[in-house]
Chains A and B, each alone.
Chain A
Amino acid sequence: MTTLVTGIGVAAPGGLGVGEFWPAVLAGKSAIAPVRGFDGSGYSVRLAGQIRGFVPERHLPNRLLPQTDRVTQLALTAAEWALADADIGRSLVTTDEMGVVLSNGQGGFEFTHREFHKLWNDGPEEVSVYESFAWFYAANTGQISIRHGLRGPCGVLVGEQAGGLDAIASARRYIRRGTPLVVSGGLDSAFDPWGFLSQTAHGRVSRAEEDWAAFLPFDRGANGYVPGEGGAVLVLEDGTSALDRGVPVYGEIAGYGASFDPRPGSGRKPALKRALERALADAAVEPRDVDVVFADSAGRPDLDRIEAAAISDVFGPQGVPVTAPKAAYGRLGAGGGPLDVATALLAVRESVIPPTAHTLDVPEEYGIDLVTSAAREKDLRTAVVLARGYGGFNSALVVRRFGY
C-alpha cells in the first residue's frame, strides 16, 4: 500500500506557507537574526531562527487564542493550510476515519513559563484554566483533531529533532493498516527567555554574533547550530484514496528506518548509518537510486564527521549531492524533519536542490558533495532525509516522486 503526500503546510522562519518558504529556501536566504521577543542582550547565545510576521488572529478563531501556546497556533495554522492544499473537502472518506500523528518536543513552553511566573508570584489561584492542556506535548494533536473533526488513530511522538520523522513513519504505518488519511509532521517553539536559554543548555548552540557565521554545517568553521521554531504539517494519504479523487500528489513516503546510538564510552559505533540502510531497504531502493540527501547537519565538527562518514560509506565518496537548507533558518526540533521532508518533496517536484546557506569550506576528508552557494538543477526522483535527536536518536526517511 502506497503512502502519498497530498498536502503541505509550512510555518518556518524562512516563510509562512509554501509560497513564501520555497523561494526563500531556494535562494538560501538567511532567516537567522538576533533573538527577539525579549531582551536577549545579556545571554551568551545571541541568534535564533524565529518566524516573523505571524499574527495568530489572522489565522485562528478568537476563542482558540487564549487557550493555546504559540506552537499550537503555528500547528493549527499549518494543519489548516495542509488540509486545504489536499482539498479534503472533496475526500470520499469522512473525517471520522482520518487520523493525526504529530511530533512535539518542547510543549507549550512560552505559555507555561507565564503560568509558572503567575504561580510563584501571585499564587495557585492565578494559574490559567487552560494551562493543563496548553502545556503538554499532545496539545497540537488534540487541537487539530478537534478543529477538523478528525476521529481516526492519533499519536504524539517525542524524539527531539528525530521525532518528526518518527511521527511521519507512524502515520504511514496507520495508512498501511487501513486508515485512509493521516495529518502528520511536527513543530516546536520555545522563545520565551527560559525556553531560549534551555535550548542552549547542552552547549551545542553557536555563540556567534553574525548570521553568516553561526550555523555552518559541514564547514571547517562549524561552531554549533542556531535554534529555530516552526515546522511542517503534511497530509498523508493512502494511494488508492488519493488517486480515486484525483488530487495532485507531491510524492511518496517510500521508506523509513530508525536506530539509536550506543551509550557514550561504550566503544560501540554510532548507529546513523544503520538507520539510513534500513530506510533504503524499506523503500527497496539501492544507494545509486538516491538523487539527493537532506542531511541532519548538526553543525559541530564531531557530529558532522559522523554524518559525513555514514553518507559516504553508503553512497560512496562524493557519491550523491548532499544539502542542508536548515543552515538558513536553524534546527527546529520536532519541526526540523517534517520541514526537510516538505522541502525534499518540493525539490523532487521541481528537480532542483536548494543550497546549504553560509557553508563554504567543506573538508575534503568528509567525502561529501555538499550543495553550497546556489541551488543545483538536477533530475530528482528519490531523496533521503536524515534527522538526529539529541541523546542518540537517528531516523531516516525516503521520499520518491510518485509514479516512478
Chain B
Amino acid sequence: MNRRVVITGIGVRAPGSGNTKEFWDLLSAGRSATRRITFFDPAKFRSQVAGECDFDPELEGLSARRIRRMDRAAQLAVVCAQDALADSGLDAFDGDPGAVGVCIGSAVGAATSLEREYLVLSDSGRRWLVDEDHLSPHMFDYLVPSSMAREVAWEVGAEGPVTMVSTGCTSGIDAVGHAAALIREGTAEAMVAGASDTPISPIVVACFDAIKATTPRIDSPERASRPFDRSRNGFVLAEGAAVFVLEELGHARRRGAHVYAEVAGYATRCNAYHMTGLRTDGREMSIAIDSALVEAKATPEDIDYVNAHGSGTKQNDRHETAAFKRSLGEHAYRVPVSSIKSMVGHSLGAIGSVEIAASLLAMANDVVPPTANLHEADPECDLDYVPLVARELRVDGVLTVGSGFGGFQSAMVLRSLGGAA
C-alpha cells in the first residue's frame, strides 16, 4: 500500500494578512508587519514589539456565541479551516464523515483567555484562592486546549480521528506531519490540519523576557525581526494560524481537486540536550532533515528552496545553518534559504503551519520569499538567505524546518506533483 498525501486547500491569518492573498502579497513584497504591541501597554516589558493580526471575529462572520466561547487561537483556527475547506472544495458530508479527521497544533493553547479569566477570578491578581462566583463556564476549554481541535472538527463536520499536537514551536509542522501519517496508514481519507497560536498576552511576553529570547529592540518595530543578520538579538513574538486540507492523492483526484503539493517526507526528533539551548553543530536537526529526505525519497538537489526556522536568536540561526550544511552538503550553499519570521514574526506553535503555507505559495508562484531586514549577514551564517527581495525561481521541492523549546527538531519535504523532486 503506497498511499500519497497531498494538500488541496489553504487558509491563513498572519500579521498584515487577513487572507491567503494578502499573506502572499506581504511576503513577496518583502514587507515586515511587526509593530509596537497594541494589545496592552508593553512599557514595563523588555520586549515591546510583536506581530499582531488585525483580526475581527465579528467581521469574519463568527456568531456572538462562538466568539464568547472560543479563545482567540480557536477563532483563528476556525476561520482558517473555513478558508481551507472553501479553497479545496472538500465537504465532509459528501462522503463518510468518519473518514475525515482534524489535527490542530498549538504551543500555548488558550493563553490569552487564561490570562483574561485569571484577572477576573483573582481580582486582578489579588486573590490566590480564586473566586468561584466569577468562574466562566468555558474555563475548562481554556485549561485543556484540545477544545480548539473540537471547534475545528465541528466546523468541518469531522467524525474521524481528532486531536491536538502541542510540541511547542514545532507544533505547526508536527500537526501536519501527524495528519499525513494518519492518511498514509489509511486511518483517514482527508484531514483538516494546521496550527494556531495567539500568545500576545502579558504572561507570555514576560516568559520570554525572563530568558531574553525575544528582541529588546524598540526603536523601529518593523525592523525588529532580523534572522541571520549580524545585529539580530532575539525573536519577535507573533500570533497567527494556518490550516490545510490534506487528502489521499486518489481521493483528491476523484474530486478533481486542485493539488498544491505532496507532503512527501516528515520527521521529528528530540535533541535530548537542553530545554532551551541548542548545540551549535546542528546534529539533531540534521538527523530530522535526513529522515524527512529519506521518507520523500529525495536527494538534496531535489530541494529548490529551504524555508528556514530562522527565528533571529543568536544561537538558532547558527545551529540551523550548520544543520543545513550537514544534511545538504555543497547544495546548502546553492539553494536559497529564507525566513519569513523576518516579516510575520514567530507565532510559536502556529509558525510551522504558516511557513508551510508560505512554502506552498512559493511553489504555486515560483517565487521565493525573502528574508527581510537582512542587511549584513552574521559571518557564521554564510548561506544564500535571499536578503530583502523576493526571487523568481522554479520551485518544485521545498524543505521546511522548525526547532523549539523542549529540544524538538522537525523537518518536512513538500513537492509539486509535476516536479522532478
> Is the CB–CB distance between B406 and A391 below 8 Å?
no
**B18 touches A (CB below 8 Å):** no
- Chain B residues near A132 (CB-CB < 8 A): 207-208, 210-211, 213, 276, 405
Near A by CB (< 8 A), chain B positions 21-69 give: 44-46
> Is the CB–CB distance between B211 and A155 below 8 Å?
no
- Chain A residues near B369 (CB-CB < 8 A): none
Picked from A121, A129, A133, A198, the residue with its CB within 8 Å of the CB of B406 is A133
> Is the CB–CB distance between A154 and B405 below 8 Å?
no
Near A by CB (< 8 A), chain B positions 232-276 give: 267-276
Picked from B137, B145, B166, B273, the residue with its CB within 8 Å of the CB of A201 is B137
Rounded to whole angstroms, the CA-CA distance of A251 and B210 in the bound complex is: 46
**B16 touches A (CB below 8 Å):** no
> Is the CB–CB distance between B210 and A131 below 8 Å?
yes
Interface string of A133-155 (1 = CB under 8 A from B): 10111110111011011111111
- Chain B residues near A291 (CB-CB < 8 A): none
Picked from A107, A131, A201, A259, the residue with its CB within 8 Å of the CB of B139 is A201
- Chain A residues near B267 (CB-CB < 8 A): 153
> Is the CB–CB distance between B132 and A42 below 8 Å?
yes
Number of A-B contacts (CB under 8 A): 261
CB distance from B23 to the nearest CB of A (A): 26
> Is the CB–CB distance between A155 and B178 below 8 Å?
yes
Q: Which residue of A lies closest to B409 (CB)?
A: A154
Interface string of A189-200 (1 = CB under 8 A from B): 010011101111
> Is the CB–CB distance between B206 and A133 below 8 Å?
no
**A67 touches B (CB below 8 Å):** yes
**B290 touches A (CB below 8 Å):** no
> Is the CB–CB distance between A152 and B269 below 8 Å?
yes
**B140 touches A (CB below 8 Å):** yes
CB distance from B216 to the nearest CB of A (A): 13
**B87 touches A (CB below 8 Å):** no
- Chain A residues near B210 (CB-CB < 8 A): 124, 127-129, 131-132
- Chain B residues near A135 (CB-CB < 8 A): 108, 207
Picked from B107, B118, B139, B162, the residue with its CB within 8 Å of the CB of A392 is B162
Rounded to whole angstroms, the CA-CA distance of A99 and B272 in the bound complex is: 10
> Is the CB–CB distance between A259 and B160 below 8 Å?
yes
> Is the CB–CB distance between A138 and B406 below 8 Å?
yes
- Chain A residues near B164 (CB-CB < 8 A): 157-159, 163
> Is the CB–CB distance between B203 and A115 below 8 Å?
yes
Rounded to whole angstroms, the CA-CA distance of A104 and B115 in the bound complex is: 20
Chain A contact-residue range equals 35 or more
**A219 touches B (CB below 8 Å):** no
Q: Which of B151-159, B312-320, B330-338 contacts A (4 or more CB under 8 A)?
A: B151-159
Q: Which of B122-130, B222-230, B354-362, B390-398 contacts A (4 or more CB under 8 A)?
A: B122-130
Interface string of A169-208 (1 = CB under 8 A from B): 0100100000000000000001001110111111100000
> Is the CB–CB distance between A100 and B270 below 8 Å?
yes
Most chain A Cβ neighbours within 10 Å, of B143, B267, B268: B143
CB distance from B116 to the nearest CB of A (A): 11
**B209 touches A (CB below 8 Å):** yes
> Is the CB–CB distance between A142 and B146 below 8 Å?
no
7 residue pairs, one from A and one from B, having the closest CB atoms = A142-B406, A120-B125, A201-B139, A145-B270, A391-B150, A137-B166, A260-B162
Given A113-B118, A131-B206, A163-B146, 10 further pairs, Cβ under 8 A? A112-B203, A117-B125, A133-B276, A136-B107, A138-B405, A152-B270, A158-B163, A203-B137, A390-B140, A392-B162
Residues of B within 8 A of A (CB): 44-46, 97-98, 101-102, 107-109, 115, 118-119, 121-122, 124-126, 128-130, 132, 135-147, 149-150, 153-154, 157-168, 174, 178, 181, 185, 187, 202-203, 205-211, 213, 267-276, 284, 287, 404-408
| 14 sampled A-B residue pairs with Cβ under 8 A | A109-B143, A116-B118, A117-B128, A124-B210, A137-B145, A141-B406, A145-B271, A146-B407, A151-B269, A154-B268, A154-B270, A155-B178, A194-B130, A258-B163
